[in-house]
Amino acid sequence: MEYISNITKGMMQFAAVALVVAVSVAMPQTASANTGAGALILNVVTVTYKDSGATTSYAETATSSVTVDLVASAPNLSAPADATVASGGTATYAYTVTATANGSDVYPIASTGTTTNATGVTVTPSVTSITLGASVITAAPTASTIEIPAGSETNLIVGDIVVIGGVDYKISAVAAGTATSHTNTSPTDGVAGSTIAETPTTLTLIANAAGSNTAPAFLPALVGTVVGEQGTFTVDVTATAGPGPGDGTV
């Protein structure tokens, strides 16, 4: 009877579920750089012909552009504290995951772990994947605004929580920019055309009252720093102690 009593009264101690956030990393192409994915790099070459009197008689422009690739990077994942619940009960763990890439990416959520003296184990993440926006800061024009390359703001929207230099902020406004371009669309029209400079995307940030609650005070030194979205999800773990006496662990 003591054996049965131990099984009945056994507590199921749940260690924090070990989660692996799998990231599919592709080899970066030549265009990849320390700038936001989706940014456009425009190259313009103009050839000018002059007559013997040094008067321009013909000008022609050729352009080429490259879009910056996503350079995949493993995100930062929090480790919630262990929990102990009654045998057959459910423990719920809250995780935060923060992007460290140069652009938006999808992160599949998978679980792995071991059990001791436990049966009927189920591990259920609240989501199967999480999408996080990210980019690279190109300027900090004011204490509360940052600029990122136009086209790199994918999945960075108002209300998102982002992390810069280890501090979390909330996005209060997004002003999407426009990529650089050139007015000459024909390589044979004899017109040099003109280059239109990029208008960067601007993010306005405020303190995250539910997090660090720190007002932004951005400095130009942030140029080159990743701004990565932070997301949350939960994991439910259920198990029964046994078949041996005493507690079980997952």
List, for residues 36-78, the tens digit of each pLDDT value: 999 999 988 888 777 777 776 677 788 888 999 999 999 999 8
Q: What pLDDT, in 10s, does the model give residues 89-108? A: 999 999 999 999 999 999 99
**Residue among 107, 204, 87, 102 nearest 146 (CA):** 204
50 bridge partner residues: 56
Q: What pLDDT, in 10s, does the model give residues 174-186? A: 999 999 998 877 7
Which residue would you say has higher pLDDT here, 126 or 189?
126
Find which of 20-24, 47-51, 115-119 is predicted with most confidence, using mean pLDDT. Answer: 115-119
pLDDT tier, 148 (very low <50, low <70, confident <90, very high otherwise): very high
Whether the pTM exceeds 0.75: the reply is yes
